Amino acid sequence: MSDLEPENDEKEEEQEQPEELDPAKLLETTAALQEDEDLANIVTAEEYLMCKDVVLLEYEKQMFLDQVQADGLLVCAKGLSYERVLINILKAYSDSGNLVLVINSSDWEEKYLKSKMEPKYVHEVANTATERERVYVEGGLQFISTRILVVDLLKQRIPIELISGIIVLRAHTIIESCQEAFALRLYRQKNKTGFVKAFSSSPEAFTIGYSHVERTLRNLFVKNLYIWPRFHATVRGSLQPWQTQTIELHVPLSQNMTSIQTHILDIMNFLVREIKRINRTVDMDAVTVENCVTKKFHKILQAQLDCIWHQLNSQTKLIVADLKILRSLMISTMYHDAVSAYALMKRYRSTEYALSNSGWTLLDAAEQIFKLSRQRVFNGQQEFEPEPCPKWQALTDLLTQDIPGDMRRCRRTEQPKVLILCQDARTCHQLKQYLTQGGPRFLLQQALHHEMPVGKLSDKYAKEGHGREAPLKQASYKKEPLKEEASNSQPPAAGLDELAQLLSESEAEGQHFEESYMLTMTQPLVQEPLLDIKPDPDVSIFETIPELEQFDVTAALAALPHQPYICLQTFKTESEGSMALEHMLEQLQPHYVVMYNTNVTAIRQLEVFEARRRLPPADRMRVYFLIHARTVEEQAYLTSLRREKAAFELIIDTKSKMVIPEYQDGKTDEAFLLFKNYDDELAGENAKSRQAGGQVSQAPKETPKVIVDMREFRSDLPCLIHKRGLEVLPLTITIGDYILTPDVCVERKSISDLIGSLNSGRLYNQCVQMQRHYAKPILLIEFDQNKPFHLQGKFMLSQQTSMANADIVQKLQLLTLHFPRLRLIWSPSPYATAQLFEELKLGKPEPDPQKAVALGSDEPTAGEQLHFNSGIYDFLLRLPGVHTRNIHGLLRKGGSLRQLLLRSQKELEELLQSQESAKLLYDILHVAHLPEKDEVAGSTALLAAGKQFGAGSHNRFRKAAAESRRGRR
């Protein structure tokens, strides 16, 4: 017992020791618990918003909570940007333990989101497959192109089970056959726990087509729909208390502009009535004068008329084109200067256009439009005196009088920062030139640029020009090189195709101008110089800031700390999209904003920006609207508002009525829409083997496989093939696009691709390769599902079209003659093609991937040794009597072509195993055919010139030449 006592003492000491270390261990446990709580906070959305002190507006917090708690599609109004919500969702999942994929983002969205994330969590997509496999395992955020993602998912380079979730942007573009839907289907098949969160800011897109909302939800594998219009109570509550002070300035149009607008609307009204009269059976509800003047008119028209375009007569097509042209004339009159508008009008007064329009140029209203457009540039004595844009004077008054006056009233000591917002780069450039040079000089430059004969300047115009020459030079010397560069890079207006311009006239030309300019004043706007400005308010007192060459606003503000800033900016830019305005507002922090053109998105962005700042009313920015009241400009703005409201009402109504299956999210086995079960087909077949009373069960049927060329993943077909339950194997193959069985190879061509490859000869070479290596080569000609199923439009096969398109049918006939085994399949859509592939594969063996890759490569594989010269093989196949069944015997025993010519008909019969085939081949090799007239003339010329045909020459030409001489005698 005594021996055990020390041990017991030791045990007691050991038990006492932990009690002494309890506080330290407790601290460790507390730290661990705290860490666990932090992790829990990231998962719990409410705690995340509170703990992290995230700056979000009330409605943005609600958006965040909705999307985090349950997967869904979020549709918000334009301007109520979901970007901040998305950034916080991405931050919440930013961890090396998570792999989050962002798909379908535009370039500027990707750039913006990456800039807001921690660089260690954002991984660039690697170029090689091995690198990508390594990057996927590292986790974090991946902005990836869907085509690469689909191939990696099919090849199992990406650990699908480890993907935390996929975020889909621009969700309104997700249709059943697109690559994004394909990627999501592959993801959901093997990953039942990850999330799918989709975002869209285009409610109007969901109104096009039948049950667009339900189909989009089904393609995204989400069950919830979150709708956030501007009239939502939470949005109103978030923005209402922080409203900016807005001043609406109604600028009247000039008399000529009002008359031009009235006449263009009259012609539009006439054409709309005419198009409805001609097509009484076609639904033309979308074709109204109100819609004709709005921005999305061509998209609405295309969606409505594309599928029936081939049924419309030529007059209807001309009217549609003319409605687009009239809209471009309206835009030019309202927004561009008088000289540019007149230059555009002149293009449509040419004889060529008069012969190719619907007849509107013959109307009295059209004559008035041309006359009034000229009057805006030349006065009654035909002297050059263009009228300035009505908004120019209003803008000058704002910058030189109203804003300085407001500064005095508010007793602001700092210099004003003014942001002027325009609809496009062309307007932006126009205002910059006007503010730095003055109106008269800019209009004269425009006339010279459009090669307009100026003639004599009016006295008033010349006087204005001389009076402003000195300040203009002083004000604009810094930016002169840019101006010349912009005008030189613009294509000459005369060479443009009228019908090609149509609606995007301003956008197409706008790309040659800068999208942002920053100006300052040659003298600060203090109270004393204001008196000097009033006598001549149009004098150019603005100059550009050279620091803005690289668009560095911060450097520009630092360079000129005590001078006023006037920044010209478009609503959205190519590099930053609609986020450009938000970025500029944050950098510049303007005191005044001038809306030179109206835009719904920009107005809401200003509201949201002010709500974020939460400033007292005196410090908030003041917004001026320059608007032509009771004109097309105001109508277009109101129409866009009405259209968005109607779209949201439709989506809300759809949400209240639509039935969503429980399995739509794809997280359960009931999601039968993911795959087709081929075991069901076996039940329908007669059980041929009833062994032991049916005790031996049949083995499950293997999933059919289709080998698809990598380049084909640009099309919709691989997605639709997979949707029908076929397994897609992406490989780089040289011959064909799709390998269905070991014998069947398919080359897919769209209509435009077919024409191009027929004309270039590429298709001929592809058919040669297919026929050489496959028993059943197929040429699949696939049409667009939204277009009619016949050659039409620019591919119309009629005598009016060019020779390049007219001989397509003859080339296809030649193709079938050259390749007797080639089968042509005409498919109306990718959906029909997918069904056809499925039927062609029934009961057929599966293709061998290794063999498919090896075929056509430079090095022949073991099973594919070429024993014959391929050129001789192809040549013999074209000879009468030679076909695939007897060509191998002919190649083995025939020797050479020279020996073949020396063989008798009997010998050929033994070689070809057919008397009829031997006779055909013997005749073609030995019978002299009578040549055509031009061939006779050519042979005579050859004989006379050099006696090039010796004793061993063919008798054919000698006989022909002799007959020709006999005939002349």
**219, containing H or E segment:** helix 212-220
Mean pLDDT of 856-869: 51
| 865 — pLDDT class (breaks 50, 70, 90) | very low
Tell me, what's the pLDDT at 246? 93
Largest Cα span, the chain: 150
Tell me, what's the pLDDT at 776? 93
Tell me, what's the pLDDT at 6? 43
Looking at every residue in the chain, the average pLDDT score rounds to 79
Tell me, what's the pLDDT at 542? 66
pLDDT over 80 at 847, yes or no:
yes
Tell me, what's the pLDDT at 554? 60
- Mapped onto helix, strand or coil, the DSSP state of residue 175 is coil
Distance CA 81, CA 85 (A): 8
799 or 83, which is more confident? 83
pLDDT over 50 at 454, yes or no:
yes
941 or 543, which is more confident? 543
601 or 677, which is more confident? 601
Tell me, what's the pLDDT at 174? 92
| 798 — pLDDT class (breaks 50, 70, 90) | very low
Tell me, what's the pLDDT at 901? 86
Chain position carrying tokens 């390594």: 134
Domain 51-238: give its CATH superfamily.
Answer: P-loop containing nucleotide triphosphate hydrolases (3.40.50.300)
| 492 — pLDDT class (breaks 50, 70, 90) | very low
Mean pLDDT of 94-107: 91
CATH 3.30.1560 applies to domain 241-253+389-458+512-524+538-630: no
- Mapped onto helix, strand or coil, the DSSP state of residue 543 is strand
Q: What is the DSSP string of 266-316?
A: HHHHHHHHHHHHH-TTS--TT--HHHHTSTTHHHHHHHHHGGGGGGS-HHH
How crowded is residue 12: how many other Cβ atoms within 10 Å of its Cβ? 10
Mean pLDDT of 614-634: 92
Could you read off the pLDDT of 779-788 as tens digits, one per residue? Answer: 999 988 877 7
- Mapped onto helix, strand or coil, the DSSP state of residue 774 is coil
Classify each residue of 772-805 as buried b or exposed e, where b means 16 or more C-beta atoms within 10 Å of its C-beta. bbbebbbbbbbbeeebbeebeeeeeeeeeeeeeb
Could you read off the pLDDT of 716-728 as tens digits, one per residue? Answer: 999 999 988 899 9
Tell me, what's the pLDDT at 96? 82
Could you read off the pLDDT of 195-227 as tens digits, one per residue? Answer: 999 999 999 999 887 889 999 999 999 999 999
> 614 in the Ramachandran plot: left (φ > 0), alpha (ψ -120 to 50) or beta?
left
Tell me, what's the pLDDT at 53? 64
Tell me, what's the pLDDT at 602? 95
- Cβ atoms of 187 and 163 closer than 8 Å: yes
pLDDT over 90 at 898, yes or no:
no
Q: What is the DSSP letter of 782?
A: E
> 170 in the Ramachandran plot: left (φ > 0), alpha (ψ -120 to 50) or beta?
left
Could you read off the pLDDT of 68-80 as tens digits, one per residue? Answer: 999 999 999 999 9
| 26 — pLDDT class (breaks 50, 70, 90) | low
Distance CA 167, CA 144 (A): 11
Angle between helices 425-437 and 469-476 (to 10 degrees): 120
Chain position carrying tokens 């021996």: 3
Distance CA 889, CA 911 (A): 6
Could you read off the pLDDT of 398-453 as tens digits, one per residue? Answer: 998 888 888 888 877 778 899 999 998 999 999 999 998 888 889 999 999 888 88
The tokens for 476 are: 């604009």
**708, containing H or E segment:** strand 705-709
- Cβ atoms of 461 and 385 closer than 8 Å: yes
Please give the C-alpha separations between residue 727 and each of 183, 706, 719, 720, in angstroms, as whole numbers.
14, 6, 10, 11
| 484 — pLDDT class (breaks 50, 70, 90) | very low
Mean pLDDT of 462-490: 37
The CATH architecture assigned to 705-791+804-855 reads 3-Layer(aba) Sandwich (3.40)
Tell me, what's the pLDDT at 381? 86
605 or 468, which is more confident? 605
Tell me, what's the pLDDT at 643? 92
Evaluate whether 51-238 and 879-926 have a shared fold.
Answer: no
High-pLDDT (> 70) share of the chain, %: 75
- Cβ atoms of 831 and 782 closer than 8 Å: no
CA atoms 169, 175, 180, 181: torsion sign: positive
CATH of domain 879-926: 1.10.150.20
pLDDT over 90 at 52, yes or no:
no
For the entire predicted model, the pTM comes to: 0.77
The tokens for 761 are: 């000869």
Sheet containing 705-709: which strands, arranged edge to edge? 727-731, 705-709, 738-739, 744-750, 776-782, 823-827
Tell me, what's the pLDDT at 676? 53
| 481 — pLDDT class (breaks 50, 70, 90) | very low
Among 89-103, 105-119, 885-899, the minimum mean pLDDT is found in 885-899
| 540 — pLDDT class (breaks 50, 70, 90) | low
Tell me, what's the pLDDT at 97? 86
Burial class (CB in 10 A: 0-12, 13-18, 19+), 824: exposed
Among 22-31, 605-614, 648-657, 703-712, the minimum mean pLDDT is found in 22-31
Tell me, what's the pLDDT at 486? 28
Strands 72-76 and 99-103: unpaired
Distance CA 466, CA 474 (A): 14
pLDDT over 90 at 370, yes or no:
yes
| 19 — pLDDT class (breaks 50, 70, 90) | very low
How crowded is residue 124: how many other Cβ atoms within 10 Å of its Cβ? 11
Q: How far is CA 402 from the centre of its chain?
A: 43
| 857 — pLDDT class (breaks 50, 70, 90) | low
Mean pLDDT of 466-478: 35
**16, containing H or E segment:** helix 4-43
Could you read off the pLDDT of 268-303 as tens digits, one per residue? Answer: 999 999 999 998 888 787 788 888 887 777 777 777
Tell me, what's the pLDDT at 507? 38
Tell me, what's the pLDDT at 915? 85
| 695 — pLDDT class (breaks 50, 70, 90) | very low
Q: How far is CA 440 from the centre of its chain?
A: 40
CA-based Rg of the chain, rounded to a whole angstrom?
A: 38
Could you read off the pLDDT of 150-192 as tens digits, one per residue? Answer: 999 999 999 899 899 999 999 999 988 889 999 999 999 889 9
Q: What is the DSSP letter of 356?
A: S
Q: How many residues does the chain have?
A: 969
- Cβ atoms of 74 and 199 closer than 8 Å: yes
How crowded is residue 299: how many other Cβ atoms within 10 Å of its Cβ? 14
Strands 738-739 and 705-709: antiparallel
Mean pLDDT of 812-827: 91
Tell me, what's the pLDDT at 916? 85
| 924 — pLDDT class (breaks 50, 70, 90) | confident
Among 33-47, 114-128, 437-451, the minimum mean pLDDT is found in 33-47
Mean pLDDT of 513-533: 50
- Mapped onto helix, strand or coil, the DSSP state of residue 417 is strand
Tell me, what's the pLDDT at 476? 30
Angle between helices 439-449 and 338-347 (to 10 degrees): 20
Query: What residue spans define the domains of the chain?
Result: 51-238, 241-253+389-458+512-524+538-630, 255-384, 705-791+804-855, 879-926
Query: Can you name the residues that pair with 101 across neighbouring β-strands?
Result: 142, 166
Tell me, what's the pLDDT at 693? 47
Angle between helices 905-912 and 915-926 (to 10 degrees): 130
Nearest CA to 86 out of 227, 199, 170, 232 is that of 199
Amino acid 920 reads: L
Tell me, what's the pLDDT at 950? 45
Distance CA 678, CA 833 (A): 19
246 φ, ψ to 5°?
A: -115, 135
Could you read off the pLDDT of 674-683 as tens digits, one per residue? Answer: 555 444 444 4
pLDDT over 50 at 799, yes or no:
no
Please give the C-alpha separations between residue 765 and each of 736, 747, 936, in angstroms, as whole numbers.
11, 12, 33
Distance CA 426, CA 570 (A): 9
Could you read off the pLDDT of 748-784 as tens digits, one per residue? Answer: 999 888 988 888 888 998 999 898 889 999 999 998 8
